[in-house]
Structure 1
Amino acid sequence: MTPSPAPPDQPAGTQDIRLDTARLRVLAHPLRLNVLALLRQRGPSTATRIAAELGINPGSASYHLRRLAAGGLIVETPGRGTGRERWWESVHRQSIHDPADEPEHERAAGRAYAHAVALAAVERLRKAADEVPLLPAEWYEASVYSDFTMRLAPQDVERMRAEIFEVISAYRQGEAGAPHGAVPVSLQVQAFPVPGTVDLDVGDA
């Protein structure tokens, strides 16, 4: 299950996008995913600002921004920037990719994208871990870093994923009335076989 797309009359940045093969290939890079995540979480930015945030050089940031723009995932922010400083913003709220729905010709691109998503999530979690000792008490107490191991079949994981997405959708619908002090919160949901417990399909990897 994936969240329903936002109505088409909503402004840019509030709609979701279902990834096709071309965009899956654009996003099959963990650093590029984290560049896009920054724009979605914090709003418009420049290559220089993104480079400082991610610890990369501005040339690398510019390259990944151009690739994202070529894929129709970001656009230049109207009315901001100069010839030397370009501001960019995300076109969509989030990307949607459901491996269960992907056609056969997208299988390889989908796996490469999923691989990049996992690597990008690791990097964002590492940065979050660096801030744990400095978090205000209310955010330290509200945050959670949990890991659960369960014995499940694939259909059980699919059902649990659908239930989790329903909860996320309900909270997302209430974002417009968020109270004072609300900030972007990253909720990482991962469910995968414990490494070494499943016979790998090497021929399809």
Structure 2
Amino acid sequence: MAAREIVPGVDQLKALTHPVRVRMLGMLRIDGPATATTLAARLGLNSGATSYHLRQLAQHGFIEDDESRGNARERWWKATHQMTVTGDRAVPDTAEGQETLGAYLQTVVTLYTQQLQKALEERELIAKEWREVFNLNDRVLRLTPSQVRRLQEQVNEVVFGFEDDPDGEPVTVQFHTFALPGHLGPDPEKD
């Protein structure tokens, strides 16, 4: 079984600034082990490009060979962790660290947006019981950074308290906390 999480360093995080790699890693985490050929077909890429991205993920410790599958002609890959943990506390407070984190977060936001758009497009095609639990919402609260951290911890406790149901379907829980754009001034320490 894969470890629960990885907190990547700057060099590892650089490997995840490419959207194809983030998507491949997600597929291996959700759907389980796969070959470069299988992933290439799902991503609409050629297997050479897919193999290159898989090697980059392996080199940085995100995936590894699944030696329980395949043969001499077929190489299977599996995720080594269930999730990636990042943020200001996970990277050095240097120009390189912040730039790399920013590039990674931009990739993630783009992929979240694409995933949400696709879910919305498929909504009317899915069973009524699944349409009824489709939920988009936001709530603006006035909180301090320590209160936001407490909120994050409590939500994570609830989410991680659920065990996978063998009869269930993959469900994405996207939970974002950020200061409402346009309401904070610049960081006085950066002036």
Same fold by TM-score greater than 0.5? yes
Native 8 Å contact 2:19 2:107 kept in 1:
yes
Native 8 Å contact 2:14 2:100 kept in 1:
yes
Please give the TM-score of this superposition, normalised by the length of structure 2. Answer: 0.83
**How many angstroms does 1:159 deviate by?**
2.5
1:112 aligns with 2:103: yes
Distance 1:101 1:76, change over 3 A: closer
Task: Please list the CA deviations of residues 53-95 of structure 1 after superposition, one character each: whole Å capped at 9, or x if unmatched.
Answer: 2333333322211110111111121142345432211011111
Task: Please list the CA deviations of residues 80-138 of structure 1 after superposition, one character each: whole Å capped at 9, or x if unmatched.
Answer: 23454322110111111242353324333222222222222222222322321221222
CA distance in 1: counterparts of 2:177 and 2:125, whole angstroms: 29
Task: Please list the CA deviations of residues 18-69 of structure 1 after superposition, one character each: whole Å capped at 9, or x if unmatched.
Answer: 2122211111222211110010001011222222323333333222111101
CA distance in 2: counterparts of 1:115 and 1:102, whole angstroms: 16
Aligned to 1:32: 21
Please give the TM-score of this superposition, normalised by the length of structure 1. Answer: 0.78
SS across alignment from 1:99: coil
Distance 1:194 1:60, change over 3 A: farther
State the identity as a percent: 34
**1:88-99 alignment runs, 5 A limit:** 88-99=77-88
**1:5-84 alignment runs, 5 A limit:** 11=1, 13-84=2-73
Q: Unaligned regions of 5+ residues in structure 2, if any?
A: none
CA distance in 1: counterparts of 2:119 and 2:43, whole angstroms: 13
Task: Give the structure, 1 or 2, with the largest relative contact order (CA under 8 Å, sep 6 or more).
Answer: 1
1:188 to 174, 178, 186: 174
CA RMSD of aligned residues (A): 2.5
Aligned to 1:6: none
CA distance in 2: counterparts of 1:31 and 1:125, whole angstroms: 17
Q: Unaligned regions of 5+ residues in structure 1, if any?
A: 1-10
Native 8 Å contact 1:31 1:120 kept in 2:
no
Aligned AA (2:57): L
**How many angstroms does 1:151 deviate by?**
4.0
